[in-house]
Amino acid sequence: MLIKDRDFQEILSAEELQNTVKRLADSVMNDYQEKNPYFLVMMNGAFVFASDFLRNIGHPVKVGFVKYTSYVGMHSSGKVTPVLPIPQDVEGRDVVLLEDMTDTGCTMHFFLEELKKFHPKSIAIVSLFCKPESLQYDLKIDYIGVKLPNQFVAGYGLDYDGEGRNLPTLYYTKNDE
Ligand code: IMP
Ligand code: MG
């Protein structure tokens, strides 16, 4: 699959992704049976994952959106900038963050520091993908869908320089030599 100027290979099929997302949603909702979770979707990457995840929940829940950026092209810039602010009404709520990918963990680390200032009752992180080898922060990710090798991926919400988010399959590309 050619995305922009690079060749990508399939790593997870659409069916495998749907099964993983359903398993995550079932597991989270099983743990939150007695609670009223407030889901925060980390834009932009998590929008496809979140829309599938949230539709696996059979009853109404509160959903909000946040946006922090760190990536430029294929690399984490190490500098995290808030774009969409955290909604004030997370105060006292059981917040569940939906994230597409934890790579260095920089975005999540910075975001958690901000979120704590709004005094939620509890915070849990759901990360569809994680690259354990590139993690640079001491993060507790409560729910992980799939652990991936340290390679750049695109599709299912994740982009290569703005392209490929719409693809229902996940693709990887070989690292530059
Ligand atoms: P981190 O701050 O290094 O953990 O990276 C966080 C964000 O960078 C993720 O939420 C993704 O949106 C994006 N990202 C990380 N790895 C990839 C990748 O392989 N492809 C596309 N986007 C990625
Ligand atoms: Mg993201």
- The pLDDT tens digits of the residues spanning 116-156 come to 999 999 999 999 999 999 999 999 999 999 999 999 999 99
Region at 156 (left for phi over 0; alpha for psi -120 to 50; beta for the rest): left
Share of the chain above pLDDT 90, in %: 84
Residue 72 has pLDDT above 60, yes or no: no
Task: For ligand 1, atom 3, name the residue with the nearest CA.
Answer: 104
Pairing of strands 170-173, 9-12: antiparallel
Amino acid found at 55: R
The structural domains of the chain, with segments of one domain joined by +, span 14-150
The Å distance, Cα 101 to ligand 2 centre, comes to 6
Residue 174 has pLDDT above 90, yes or no: no
State the Cα–Cα distance between residues 91 and 168, nearest whole angstrom. Answer: 35
Tell me how far apart the 2 most distant CA atoms of the chain are, in Å. Answer: 50
**Which ligand 1 atom is the nearest neighbour of the CA of 159?**
21
The Å distance, Cα 142 to ligand 1 centre, comes to 18
Task: Give the per-residue pLDDT at 175.
Answer: 77
pLDDT band at 36 (very low <50, low <70, confident <90, very high): very high
State the Cα–Cα distance between residues 101 and 89, nearest whole angstrom. Answer: 25
Q: Mean pLDDT across the chain, nearest whole number?
A: 93
Cis preceding linkage at 44, omega within 30: yes
Give domain 14-150's CATH number out of 3.40.50.2020, 3.40.250.10, 3.40.47.10, 1.10.3720.10.
3.40.50.2020
State the Cα–Cα distance between residues 154 and 165, nearest whole angstrom. Answer: 7
Task: Give the per-residue pLDDT at 50.
Answer: 98
Share of the chain above pLDDT 70, in %: 94
Task: For ligand 1, atom 9, name the residue with the nearest CA.
Answer: 101
